[in-house]
Amino acid sequence: MRYAVLGTGIVGRTVAARLAALGHEVAVGTRDPEATLARTEPDHFGNVPFSEWLADHGQIRLESFADAAAWGEAVVNATQGAASLQTLEAAGAANLADKVLIDISNPLDFSQGVPPSLNPVNTDSLGEQLQRAFPEAKVVKTLNTMNCAIMMDPSLVAGEHNVFVSGDDDGAKKAVTELLVSIGWPQHAVLDLGGIETARGTEMLLPVWLRLYGAFGHSDFNFHIQVAGSSR
C-alpha cells in the first residue's frame, strides 16, 4: 500500500517509519520540502532535523503535501491540529477524494498558553471539520489518545489497553482496523465508537491525557476500558 503521511514532526516520523517497516511504500508530506531539508536545528521538541532522520530512512521520500497526497492510496494527517484544515487544503481535495484519511491530529489551542485548550470542542471536533471540508475523503479518527511510540508499538504498555476509531465509512474503519492489527493492536483492543462525531469524545480525552502526563511526569501510558463482566 502507498501511504502519504502528512507531517514531519515526531508523529509523522514514527508512523512513517513503522509503515515502511511493515513493507508499505511511504511518502512524508511537508509544506516546502527544500525548506524542511534545509533545517539544521532540532525542532522545538528537540527532535533531530528532518534531513538527519530521513538519511536513516532511505526508503521514505519527502514531498510537498499535495504531491504526497496525490501519490498515496491512503493519507495520514499528522499535522499540527490548528493547521490541519489549511494543510489538507494544500494537499488538495481532489488528492484526498475516495481515500481513507487517517486523522491522528488533536485540535490543541495554545493561544492562551499551557495547558492548551481545545478548539473546536464539545459540539464539534477537528475530525468532523475535516470530514465536512473534504466530503469525498473517508476520515477515520484514531490513535490521537496516546503518545506516538505507543500508537505504533502497543506492546510498550503492558496488559490490556485500547485504541478508538471514529468515522462515517464502515469500509474505511475496517481497513484502518486491519492496519492497526498489523501494527500490533489486538482486534479486541480496537473500539469502534461510531460516526465521525464521536471524535468529539476522543479529542476531549486530551485534557485528561495532559493532566495524567503532568501527574506521572511522562507519557508512557494509555487508556484501558474495562467492561464489567469481561475478563478484558
**Interacting residue ranges for ligand NAP, rule: CB under 6 A:** 7-12, 30-31, 36, 78-81, 83, 87, 104-106, 108, 144, 147-148
Name which of 111 and 231 has its Cβ closer to ligand NAP.
111
For the bound state, the minimum distance from the C-beta of residue 172 to ligand NAP, rounded and expressed in Å, comes to: 19
Contact 3, 23 (CB under 8 A): no
For the bound state, the minimum distance from the C-beta of residue 31 to ligand NAP, rounded and expressed in Å, comes to: 3
Which amino acid belongs to residue 224?
H
Name which of 118 and 172 has its Cβ closer to ligand NAP.
118
Name which of 25 and 109 has its Cβ closer to ligand NAP.
109
Q: How much is the CA Rg of the chain, to the nearest whole Å?
A: 17
For the bound state, the minimum distance from the C-beta of residue 200 to ligand NAP, rounded and expressed in Å, comes to: 15
Name which of 122 and 230 has its Cβ closer to ligand NAP.
122
Name which of 80 and 119 has its Cβ closer to ligand NAP.
80
Cβ neighbors of 30 (< 8 A, separation 6 or more) are 7, 8, 36, 50, 62, 63, 64, 65
For the bound state, the minimum distance from the C-beta of residue 176 to ligand NAP, rounded and expressed in Å, comes to: 15
SS3 assignment, position 156: helix
For the bound state, the minimum distance from the C-beta of residue 209 to ligand NAP, rounded and expressed in Å, comes to: 8
- Among residues 134, 129, 133, 151, the alpha carbon closest in space to that of 197 is found at 129
For the bound state, the minimum distance from the C-beta of residue 9 to ligand NAP, rounded and expressed in Å, comes to: 2
Cβ neighbors of 210 (< 8 A, separation 6 or more) are 115, 116
Rounded CA gap, 83 and 209, in Å?
21
Cβ neighbors of 139 (< 8 A, separation 6 or more) are 101, 103, 127, 130, 131, 167, 168, 172, 196
Name which of 76 and 171 has its Cβ closer to ligand NAP.
76
- Among residues 143, 206, 146, 155, the alpha carbon closest in space to that of 180 is found at 143
